[in-house]
Amino acid sequence: MLNYILNGVIFMADKRIFSGVQPSGSIHIGNYLGAIKQFVDNQNQYESIFSIVDLHAITVWQEPEELINSTHNVLALFIASGLSIEKNIIFKQSAVVEHTQLSWVLGCTARMGWLNRMTQFKDKAGKNKENASIGLYTYPILMAADILLYSATHVPVGDDQKQHLELARDIANKFNTDYKKDFFLLPQPIFNKNSTRVMSLRDGSNKMSKSDISEYSRILMTDNNDIITKKIKKAKTDSLKMPDTIKDAESRLEINNLINIYSASSGIDKQLVIDDFALKDIIDFKKSLTEVIIEVVEPIALEANKLINDKKYLEVILKEGAEQAREISSKKISDLYSIIGMI
Ligand code: TYM
């Protein structure tokens, strides 16, 4: 394998990560453990590109001022979580026009039947699907464009994005077949073992989500220690003792979720967490869990709060990131246009 050095870091040249986070609502510990932590953990091995996907965010209504604030918040959290601005390209999706250009072409490759199978659209549109935006429906095509534009080999995401990743591969494959060229790489997802689907603290059968009406369903990456303590205290559980086997844990949705959060936050293997707390009172486990979460969230929240006040600094990072991203994306679009007969 050919390695190369950029800013003093050795990368595996044939591997490139791309991932995105929407600037809608506040980032929660599910986003962090499922995605952002993986970005940080992998940044020394892969050349990485991260986008704050504001075009995706407007598939549901966003107040313009809020959208700008949320974009800055996500960037501040990225940096506070440990993402290096020297090693990685970090930019705002709307600043790189090639995303929408490629999205149109891929929309002509994707099939209606494929999009009709997307469960996230069904979940988000709910019963009132006639009233959902077209953007919400075609959302996975823009996501495929994000990834394929940079020839990403790996995409760290939570489990909820698995189907979208499969769609991106199907689109890439059909394009390559239609035009008889190996033009798009087929990307692989990367999932975090115990936190690929962090569940709501109020209902262990629902994903932790930015849009849940209950604030107590999620820990935000900007929550202070008192709020975290309250949220964990209130987290739904049964009234039994702690489980003593993985099988027992997995039969109890809410407790299993809390154990997974503990394991993913502390880096301690799930089996060891179960052994440590076996048959103890849930209240004791919750106390330790609160400490473990605070250890993760507190330094990130403090640093993000500092960064968020320096809008100029954040804007410079976004501008430079967009310039770097465009060096890759404009070349890809120019190659694409020549393949499809547009130059
Ligand atoms: P978004 O903004 O909803 O979420 C950002 C990342 O967080 C993960 N995630 C979770 N992981 C574990 N447990 C949860 N409860 C949880 N909730 C969210 C998501 O899987 C995601 O990795 N469509 C994407 C954004 C996107 C993207 C892309 C991602 C746009 N283009 C290209 C990868 C590659 C989304 O809505 O993420």
pLDDT, tens only, 247-270: 999 999 999 999 999 999 999 999
**3 CA to centre of ligand 1 in angstroms:** 29
Positions marked active-site: 124, 207, 210
User: Would the pLDDT of 2 be above 90?
Assistant: no
pTM of the model: 0.95
Q: Is 158 in the same domain as 263?
A: no
166 and 231 co-located in one domain: no
21 domain-assigned: yes
Ligand 1 pocket by Cβ (under 6 Å): 18-22, 30-31, 34-35, 53, 56, 143, 146-147, 155, 157-158, 160-161, 195-198, 207-208
Whether residues 98 and 154 fall in one domain: yes
Question: Are 293 and 332 contained in the same domain?
Answer: no
By the 10 Å C-beta count (0-12 exposed, 13-18 middle, 19+ buried), 275 is classed as exposed
Question: Of the residues 36, 83, 123, 157, which should be mutated to test ligand 1's pocket, given the most ligand atoms within 8 Å of the CB?
Answer: 157
Q: Is residue 19 part of a domain?
A: yes
Closest alpha carbon to 76 in 322, 307, 313, 298:
307
231 and 193 in a common domain: no
Instruction: Find, among 296, 27, 42, the residue nearest to 191 by Cα.
Output: 42
Cα of 50 from ligand 1 centre, angstroms: 12
d(CA 108, CA 37): 35
Asked whether residue 88 falls in the same domain as residue 193, the answer is yes
pLDDT-derived band at 128 (thresholds 50, 70, 90) equals confident
Q: Which atom of ligand 1 is nearest to the CA of 207?
A: 15
Residue of higher predicted confidence among 141 and 8: 141
Q: Please name the residue whose Cα sits nearest to atom 31 of ligand 1.
A: 143
* Assigned domain for 209 exists: no
Atom 18, ligand 1: which residue's CA is nearest? 31
Beta bridge partners of 18: 49
* Arithmetic mean of pLDDT, 283-290: 98
Minimal-distance CA residue to ligand 1 atom 36? 22
Sorting pLDDT into bands at 50, 70 and 90, what band is 343? confident
Question: Are residue 147 and residue 236 in the same domain, yes or no?
Answer: no
- Looking at residue 56, what is its pLDDT? 98
Q: Which helix (H) or strand (E) holds 256?
A: helix 253-266
Q: What is the CATH number of the domain that holds 297?
A: 1.10.240.10
* Terminal-to-terminal C-alpha distance of the chain: 34
332: its two tokens: 């890809």
Structure confidence at residue 237 (pLDDT) = 97
Assess whether 180 and 290 both reside in one domain: no
Is residue 210 in some structural domain?
no
Ligand 1, atom 34, residue with closest C-alpha: 19
Least confident range of 23-27, 314-318, 335-339: 23-27
Residue 1: the pLDDT is 41
Give the range of the structural domain holding residue 172, as residue numbers without chain letter. 2-197+311-340
236: nearest Cα among 258, 260, 220, 208: 258
Is 205 inside a domain boundary? no
- The answer to whether position 206 is within a domain reads no
**Are 178 and 246 contained in the same domain?**
no
Distance of CA 189 from the midpoint of ligand 1 (Å): 12
**Is residue 208 included in any domain, yes or no?**
no
Q: Two tokens at 55?
A: 């075009």
Token pair, residue 172, equals 């890439």
**Ligand 1 closest atom vs CA 156:** 22
Q: What is the reported pLDDT for 4?
A: 52
| 332, pLDDT greater than 60 | yes
Residues 222 and 322 in one domain: no
Taking all residues of the chain, what is their mean pLDDT, rounded to a whole number?
Answer: 95
- Total structural domains within the chain: 2
| Mean pLDDT (whole number) for 162-174 | 98
Is the per-residue pLDDT at 314 higher than 50?
Answer: yes
Q: Are residues 135 and 222 located together in one domain of the fold?
A: no
DSSP 8-state class, residue 14? T
Q: Band of the pLDDT at 7, cuts 50, 70, 90?
A: low
Report the CATH number that the domain containing residue 133 is assigned in CATH: 3.40.50.620
Q: Is 295 found in the same domain as 271?
A: yes
